[in-house]
């Protein structure tokens, strides 16, 4: 199938051609016709399969086919995303796809001055890409209106739930018109995702490609069993020996990202750290330097697990395994995108064995172990629970004879006779006398 078979307008086909797209991906083939028909859609696909274009292209087509409103332009499409990195990525893609269309788009997210965003919104926008927190700030200040939104997109819905945005989503939905088209995209499905879909979508059509919760088959996965204290030396050796030119390294904490980055710099490796404590300017500079190959390694927390679109990223390394198994799929999904092969390496210590087994259970695959690392290998097997037959027999209970109750040695407490007793006693004495 070709893009011109999807009933897209000529300006969109020209933008797709400029982008270098040859054929629509499977998720695009399924979703684009459904959105053009006005259906509510619940779409699931592995990251890197072209999900953004799957909803942006048909929405641009729908807006383009409508009469152009006056100025300031009302927001007719709202795209809600979990992180500012993803907001910037989606915004940049919309600008590319809408290059030959008379449509305006804006993006709002936290971490930057809100006043400049308010000024841009006052000029109007056909499409708005937003993170939940900043959008609610603007709604509370009555600086943005969602009353004319006809199309609502919830992108990376599973990540939204992971980050605790469920209440914010419900608050934002209260500002939306009841009659609208709803689109929900998620890399993974869960019971919570199904419940949320039931609240947002109306008679949705499900579209999914590839096995859910699985990594793309273009990603070669490896496990290096190694002691925690040897991880840094191994990653430095891998970068140097393999002459890597670009590697995204995931760590668990912000402090760990800064520490590892400094250690790699001491080893002569050009490196930058990316995490939530960095300002938006610093994060933008680090990403730009990484994309332009000015640095070799980008050490990031899970804030970068989604929203990073790096062309032909060859290597992803899990320096620390994620606490949530689903995040492993999102992390390694930064490589092996758009059919290009990539490599995902995880350095796993014995303390992380339970996390590895949760990941392998999720993706239904045992990941290749590389034992010959030059460092002492560790066992990643979980301790087996003893079976009933192997348990030690219980000691027989011995019925001990009951202790005989003995009279208390405590002296009896003499009660003070009552007045009635006195009278009876006096009477008895009289009779005896």
- The CATH number for 321's domain is 3.40.50.300
CA 382 to the chain's CA centroid = 26
Position 412 in a domain: no
Instruction: Find the range with the poorest average confidence among 19-28, 63-72, 371-380, 418-427.
Output: 418-427
pLDDT at 376: 84
Task: Confirm whether 420 is domain-assigned.
Answer: no
Residue 313 and residue 348 share a domain = yes
Residue 389 lies in a domain: no
Question: What band does 422 get if pLDDT is binned at 50, 70 and 90?
Answer: very low
User: Which helix (H) or strand (E) is 98 found in, with range?
Assistant: none
Domain check: are 171 and 196 in the same one? yes
pLDDT of residue 394 exceeding 70, the answer is: no
Q: Is the pTM of this model over 0.75?
A: no
Q: What is the pLDDT at residue 311?
A: 72
In whole angstroms, give the CA distance from residue 184 to residue 157: 7
- Report which of residues 111 and 427 the model is more confident about: 111
What is the extent of the structural domain holding 86? Answer: 3-208
Looking at residue 393, its pLDDT comes to 53
Mean pLDDT score, 324-328: 85
Task: Give the three-state DSSP class for 393.
Answer: coil
Poorest-pLDDT segment among 121-130, 264-273, 322-331, 351-360: 322-331
**Is 404 domain-assigned?**
no
232 and 111 in a single domain? The answer is no
Q: Are residues 311 and 190 in the same domain?
A: no
How many residues in total does the chain contain?
433
Query: Does 431 fall in a domain?
Result: no
Residues 263, 227 within the same domain: yes
Question: Given this model, what pLDDT does residue 261 score?
Answer: 95
Instruction: Supply the pLDDT for residue 269.
Output: 95
Neighbours of 241 (CB within 10 A): 9
The Cα 166–Cα 87 span in angstroms is: 18
Last residue of a domain, one of 369, 390, 407: 369
32, part of any domain: yes
Q: What is the pLDDT of residue 118?
A: 95
Compute CA 296 distance to the chain's CA centroid, rounded to the nearest angstrom: 25
pLDDT-wise least confident of 42-56, 68-82, 243-257: 42-56
Tell me, yes or no, whether 202 and 251 share the same domain: no
Query: Which of 231, 426, 213 is CA-nearest to residue 319?
Result: 231
Q: What whole-number distance in Å separates Cα of residue 266 and Cα of residue 113? A: 35
Q: What pLDDT band is residue 350 in, cutting at 50, 70 and 90?
A: very high
Contacts of 256 (CB under 8 A, 6+ apart): 319, 320
* Number of domains present in the structure of the chain: 2
Considering the domain architecture, whether residues 198 and 245 belong to the same structural domain is answered as no
Confidence of residue 210 (pLDDT cuts 50, 70, 90): low
Residue 35, number of CB atoms within 10 A of its CB: 25
| Mean pLDDT of the region 178-196 | 87
Whether residues 177 and 235 share a domain: the answer is: no
Q: How confident is the model at residue 182 (pLDDT cuts 50, 70, 90)?
A: very high
Indicate if 152 and 33 belong to the same structural domain: yes
> Does residue 137 sit within a domain?
yes
Q: Which residue has the higher pLDDT, 309 or 153?
A: 153
Q: Is residue 399 part of a domain?
A: no
Query: Are 70 and 177 contained in the same domain?
Result: yes
pLDDT of residue 25: 87
pLDDT of residue 58: 96
Q: What is the pLDDT of residue 327?
A: 84
Measure the CA–CA gap between 208 and 188, rounded to whole angstroms.
Answer: 10
Query: Does residue 292 share a domain with residue 187?
Result: no
Structural domain ending residue among the three candidates 348, 369, 390: 369
256-278 pLDDT, tens digit each: 999 999 999 999 999 999 887 88
* Statement to judge: residues 202 and 224 lie in one domain: no
C-alpha to C-alpha distance for 348 and 350, rounded to whole angstroms: 7
Give the C-alpha separation, 161 to 172, whole Å. Answer: 15
């Amino acid at each position: 199938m070709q893009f011109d078979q999807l009933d897209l307008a000529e300006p969109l086909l020209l933008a797709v051609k400029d982008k270098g797209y040859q054929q629509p991906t499977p998720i695009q083939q399924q979703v684009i016709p459904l959105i053009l028909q006005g259906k509510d859609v619940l779409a699931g696909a592995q990251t890197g399969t072209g999900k953004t274009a799957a909803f942006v292209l048909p929405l641009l087509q729908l807006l383009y086919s409508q009469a152009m409103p006056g100025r300031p332009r009302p927001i007719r499409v709202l795209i809600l995303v979990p992180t500012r990195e993803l907001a910037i990525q989606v915004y940049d893609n919309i600008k590319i796809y809408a290059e030959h269309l008379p449509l305006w788009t804006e993006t709002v997210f936290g971490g930057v001055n809100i006043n400049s965003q308010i000024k841009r919104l006052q000029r109007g926008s056909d499409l708005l890409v937003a993170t939940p927190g900043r959008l609610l700030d603007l709604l509370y200040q009555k600086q943005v209106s969602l009353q004319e939104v006809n199309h609502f997109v919830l992108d990376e819905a599973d990540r939204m739930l992971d980050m605790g945005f469920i209440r914010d989503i419900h608050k934002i939905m209260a500002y939306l018109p009841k009659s609208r088209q709803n689109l929900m995209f998620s890399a993974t499905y869960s019971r919570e995702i199904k419940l949320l879909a039931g609240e947002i979508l109306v008679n949705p059509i499900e579209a999914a490609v590839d096995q859910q919760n699985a990594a793309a088959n273009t990603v070669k996965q490896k496990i290096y069993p190694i002691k925690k204290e040897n991880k840094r030396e191994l990653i430095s050796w891998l970068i140097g020996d393999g002459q890597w030119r670009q590697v995204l390294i995931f760590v668990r904490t912000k402090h760990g990202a800064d520490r590892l980055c400094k250690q790699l710099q001491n080893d002569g490796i050009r490196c930058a750290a990316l995490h939530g404590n960095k300002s938006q300017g610093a994060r933008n500079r680090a990403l730009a330097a990484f994309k332009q190959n000015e640095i070799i390694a980008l050490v990031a927390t899970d804030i970068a697990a989604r929203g990073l679109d790096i062309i032909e990223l060859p290597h992803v390394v899990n320096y620390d395994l994620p606490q949530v198994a689903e995040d492993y799929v999102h992390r390694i999904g930064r490589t092996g995108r758009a059919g290009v092969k990539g490599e995902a390496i995880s350095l796993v210590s014995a303390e992380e064995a339970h996390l590895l087994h949760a990941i392998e259970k999720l993706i239904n695959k045992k990941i290749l172990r590389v034992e010959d690392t030059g460092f002492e290998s560790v066992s990643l097997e979980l301790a087996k629970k003893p079976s009933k037959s192997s348990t030690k027999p219980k000691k027989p209970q011995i019925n001990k004879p009951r202790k005989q109750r003995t009279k208390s040695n405590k002296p009896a407490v003499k009660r003070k006779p009552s007045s009635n007793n006195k009278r009876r006693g006096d009477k008895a004495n009289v009779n005896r006398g």
